[in-house]
Amino acid sequence: MTDAKRQGYAWAISAGLNAALAAIAAKFFLSTFIKFGLVISFNVVMWGCYINSLRALSSLQATVTNFAANFLSSGLAGFFLFEETLSFKWFAGALLIVVGVLVLSKSSVEEKASIN
């Protein structure tokens, strides 16, 4: 995997984390002004990171990686910050999402290598 691809995945993961932080800010803060300010700020940063990820990855890779990072970090934040329960089905789904992202990234790399 090239450095550009690694950076693309780092940007996509960062985008997913910022999307999760926007959701956490919406639940965590009582002040409406602070809540909206943080939600808007995290979403602006998320879109910037997502656009940067699209420069190095296909739209499918960037979107799926962004979604996976958002799903995992939102679920874990709910568990640790808001004492929500995570069922076995959640963990099974999370594992399948991670495996899917790995398969997608490997197949895209192999496909591009065989074309060249």
28-46 pLDDT, tens digit per residue, is 888 889 999 999 999 999 9
In DSSP notation, 16-83 reads HHHHHHHHHHHHH---HHHHHHHHHHHHHHHHHHHHHHHHHS-HHHHHHHHHHHHHHHHHHHHHHHH-
Determine the pLDDT at residue 105.
79
Q: Domain total for the chain? A: 1
Q: What is the CA radius of gyration of the chain?
A: 16
Contact 16, 68 (CB under 8 A): yes
- Supply the range of the domain harboring residue 29: 3-115
Q: What is the pLDDT of residues 39-94, one digit of tens each?
A: 999 999 999 999 999 999 999 999 999 999 999 999 999 999 999 999 999 999 99
pTM: 0.85
Determine the pLDDT at residue 115.
53
